[in-house]
């Protein structure tokens, strides 16, 4: 049976390649994608009121999860901001999902803009298969969130937004270069994000 220590490869020696990969991984991490995605969609679809609701949703979908991970890092139960250990993800993901679901419930109750509410539901829906897969395999959340964001933007704002999909292979490369994931894990993450988030957003908006 593979131990958790064996499941996390040693980080590669620092090079220009890995330094670039680190900048991409950190710059396009899920939190940052969500912090851009929500106000972008909210502002373009609903103006200032949409931005306000987007910031509310971002509090639960990005800020609270970051605080949860940071708390784990301070306690020593989480090794890094990207939660490299698969088993640790199994304890954190349900907390993050609860935070996202809470924001969805509030937005439904207060009649928030439809596309923003659907987007939050899409975020939650994409985490469900990710959590299930993570029981056995460390699928990439980076590529799942990025691909889901691109698909949802394209559904809401038009197909030209699919051009942002060019960033997804770059993100996947960075995760593989840093030995945080295999190429297959990044590909499956992208597929899960596109299907789960995209279909949920399309059906719920």
For the chain, the structural domain boundaries read: 14-204
Tell me the pLDDT of the chain averaged across its residues. Answer: 94
pLDDT tens-digit series, residues 112-123: 999 999 999 999
Instruction: Give the Cα separation of 103 and 177 in Å (integer).
Output: 35
Report CA-CA distances (Å) from 142 to 102, 194, 195: 22, 12, 15
pLDDT band at 3 (very low <50, low <70, confident <90, very high): very low
pTM equals 0.91
Q: What tokens were used for 142?
A: 């980076």
What are the pLDDT digits (tens) for 20-37? 999 999 999 999 999 999
Q: 115 is written with which tokens?
A: 């596309």
Distance between CA atoms of residues 66 and 51, nearest Å: 20
Mean pLDDT along residues 83-109: 97
Distance CA 173, CA 120 (A): 27
pLDDT tier for residue 14 given thresholds of 50, 70 and 90? confident
- Give the pLDDT mean for 188-203: 98
Residue 128 has pLDDT above 80, yes or no: yes
Q: Are 172 and 190 in contact (CB under 8 A)?
A: yes
């Amino acid at each position: 049976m593979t131990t958790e220590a064996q499941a996390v490869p040693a980080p590669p020696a620092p090079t220009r390649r890995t330094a670039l990969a680190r900048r991409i991984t950190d710059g396009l991490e899920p939190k940052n994608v969500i912090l851009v995605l929500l106000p972008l969609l909210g502002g373009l679809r609903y103006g200032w009121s949409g931005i306000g609701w987007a910031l509310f949703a971002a509090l639960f979908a990005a800020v609270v999860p970051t605080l949860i991970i940071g708390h784990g890092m301070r306690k020593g139960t989480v090794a890094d901001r990207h939660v490299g250990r698969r088993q640790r993800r199994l304890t954190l993901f349900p907390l993050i999902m609860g935070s996202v679901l809470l924001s969805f419930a509030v937005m439904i109750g207060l009649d928030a803009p439809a596309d923003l509410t659907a987007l939050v539901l899409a975020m939650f829906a994409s985490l469900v298969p990710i959590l299930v897969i993570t029981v056995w395999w460390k699928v990439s959340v980076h590529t799942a969130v990025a691909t889901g964001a691109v698909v949802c933007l394209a559904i809401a704002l038009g197909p030209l937004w699919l051009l942002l999909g060019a960033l997804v292979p770059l993100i996947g490369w960075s995760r593989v270069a840093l030995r945080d994931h295999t190429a297959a894990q990044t590909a499956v993450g992208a597929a899960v994000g596109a299907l789960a988030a995209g279909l949920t957003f399309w059906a719920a908006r």
